[in-house]
Amino acid sequence: MDIDKHVLDFARGRARLKGITLGQAISELASAGISQLGADSSGASSPRTVRHPNGLVTFSPVPGHVITQELIDHVQDEMDEEEARVPRAS
C-alpha cells in the first residue's frame, strides 16, 4: 500500500494523540473521507444534487459540510453545461 508522506504523518500524529494504532487512525480518516464524499458501501458516490421535475434543485446533505455560494455557483455551472449538451426537441 502506498500512502503519501503527509497523509501518513498526519495519521501517525492522530494515532499518538488518540492512543490508537496507526491502522485504526488510517481507518478512521478513510471512513471520514468516505462519509464526506457521500459514498455508499460499494464505493459509488451519491448524487450531491437532485433536480426535481419542477426545476427545483436540492442538495444531498453531507455531515460537516457547509453549502457556500461558491459551491452553489459551481453546481449551477455544471448543470448549465449538462443542459447545453442535451439536444433540444424542435
CA distances from 86 to 28, 39, 80, 83 (A): 41, 27, 10, 5
Q: Which of 18, 27, 20, 17 is nearest to 7 (CA)?
A: 27
pLDDT score for 20: 93
Backbone angles phi, psi at 49, to 5 degrees: -130, 155
53: left (phi over 0), alpha (psi -120 to 50) or beta: alpha
pTM of the complete model: 0.45
Low-confidence ranges of the chain (pLDDT < 70): 35-48, 61-63, 88-90
pLDDT score for 38: 58
pLDDT score for 15: 92
pLDDT score for 87: 73
pLDDT score for 77: 86
Q: What is the pLDDT of residues 36-51, one digit of tens each?
A: 665 555 555 455 677 7
pLDDT score for 31: 82
User: Residue 15: which residues within 8 A CB-CB, separation 6 or more?
Assistant: 21, 22, 24, 25
